Amino acid sequence: MIAKLPVALATTGMLLSTAAYAEMLDLEKDELTFGFIKLTDMAPLAVAYENGYFEDEGLFVTLEAQANWKVLLDGVIDGQLDGAHMLAGQPLAATIGYGTEAHIITPFSMDLNGNAITVSNDIWEQMKPNVPKMDDGRPQHPISAEALVPVVEAYKDEGLPFNMGMVFPVSTHNYEIRYWLAAGGLEPGYYAPQDVTGTIGADVFLSVTPPPQMPATMEAGTIYGYAVGEPWNQQAVFKGIGVPVITDYDMWKNNPEKVFGITKEFADENPNTTLALTKALIRAAIWLDENDNANREEAVEMLARSEYVGADAEVIANSMTGFFEFEKGDRRPAPDFNVFFRYNATYPFYSDAIWYLTQMRRWGQIAEPQSDEWFIDQAKKVYRPDIYLEAARLLVNEDMANEADFPFDSDGFKQATPAEDVIDGIPFDGRTPNAYLDSLPIGLKGAQKIIDNEVKG
């Protein structure tokens, strides 16, 4: 059932309390409907709504929970939704014509980190002998997929497929679990134009399960583990049915996650409305991270409501408030597990888009080799730091944000990710995507293609 929310009364955030209200932009459209999936990282939408930031911009917003990522994407494309909390891969895939074709842009990245990979209790018991231990006997993190290799081989020897779940073919979670498996020496499978299952040559067979259904699907034995956002990893711990083995922070420190997506047509027809909604979302992100996450408990109470995430507050708080629990009782500090504003989290970097595109190419969703210029051009079609910085400049001028918190002099590219920040030890530079692909031991590179279910070239 879709949850529809009436406009809430505004409450004031820290910056707003000391700032004068700005003169509103001349909005082309002021009644908007935004979609989201029931995940912790939809928080900027909930906060912008509950704290009145949308209303401050003259926007009357309805938030609607969506059944799954495809329904959400279709809603944005056909205009039932004006925008949505999206998987970062969705605007990119749609714009390059993989799956549903439409030109979608993002003026705002919603967060960093926030995902994990969880396995069932049975699989964890089989992995544990392969996991190094710390002096206190607890597992040493991060845990490599090398610990899973003997388990997968045992299933193969018995003629059984090893099944794991992810949330959507172009989801961060799909690329992260593939990245983790490949870093440990396991083949996660390829896509081809004639076979979009993504299981060609796979050691581990990945299938789609909507996020809230992940724990129950694993408990039923349909999958043996999964990659998903919160709170659905911590839910497995609380239910006693599974163990998260690695967070995406430990796979790739401060990796990009969800984005806010709108059609290019919407942005072109409603430029001031686009700036206004981006301003509201930036303010929400600031509120979520300000004063060393001082507002997170309040955010948890918001998100626990049935109209938003609808999980127990205790489960949501387990990751939102600076900790993450692995085995039951093994609760470790994770201050950056959820990041909404720090480290330029909300800036839509071209290099983030390019990483997603390299993963699409790596696993065959982009079937043909492409030039570096092609990767950069596609990123620039979708990620719109120009809109973001214009909205940020307005907030700074209105004394609602600090100039030093925004990369006004950025060219849209991050510094290269160093080897020590990624689990495979292979650095990534968004300016040289093909060199990055060539450096990966597993995956398509150069002129390689999938032909007759085999890597050729």
pLDDT digits (tens, 9 = 90+) for 361-414: 999 999 999 999 999 999 999 999 999 999 999 999 999 999 999 999 999 999
- Per-residue pLDDT of the chain (457 residues), as tens digits, is 344 444 433 333 444 433 445 568 999 999 999 999 999 999 999 999 999 999 999 999 999 999 999 999 999 999 999 999 999 999 999 999 999 899 999 999 999 999 999 999 999 999 999 999 999 999 999 999 999 999 999 999 999 999 999 999 999 999 999 999 999 999 999 999 999 999 999 999 999 999 989 999 999 999 999 999 999 999 999 999 999 999 999 999 999 999 999 999 999 999 999 999 999 999 999 999 999 999 999 999 999 999 999 999 999 998 999 999 999 999 999 999 999 999 999 999 999 999 999 999 999 999 999 999 999 999 999 999 999 999 999 999 999 999 999 999 999 999 999 999 999 999 999 999 999 999 999 999 999 999 999 999 9
CA atoms of 226 and 118, how far apart (whole Å)? 5
> pTM for the whole thing?
0.94
Q: Where are the alpha helices (DSSP H) in 2-68?
A: 14-17, 43-50, 53-56
Question: Phi and psi of 74, rounded to 5°?
Answer: -60, -35
Q: What is the pLDDT of residue 23?
A: 67
3-state DSSP assignment of residue 244: strand
Q: Closest by alpha carbon to 388, among 284, 281, 258, 269?
A: 281
The fold of 115-255 is: D-Maltodextrin-Binding Protein; domain 2 (3.40.190)
User: What is the pLDDT at residue 209?
Assistant: 93
The C-alpha atoms of residue 216 and residue 300 are separated, in whole angstroms, by 23
Q: Which two tokens stand for residue 126?
A: 């089989």
* Fold match flag (14-112+256-405 vs 115-255): yes
pLDDT tens for residues 156-213? 999 999 999 999 999 999 999 999 999 999 999 999 999 999 999 999 999 999 998 9
What is the DSSP pairing of strand 163-166 with strand 104-109? unpaired
Give the start-to-end residue ranges of the domains of the chain: 14-112+256-405, 115-255
Which residues does 317 contact at the CB level (< 8 Å), separation at least 6?
A: 296, 297, 300
- Domain with residues 14-112+256-405, CATH architecture: 3-Layer(aba) Sandwich (3.40)
User: In angstroms, what CA-CA distances link 222 with 50, 216, 449?
Assistant: 38, 9, 31
CA gap 157, 248 in Å, rounded = 30
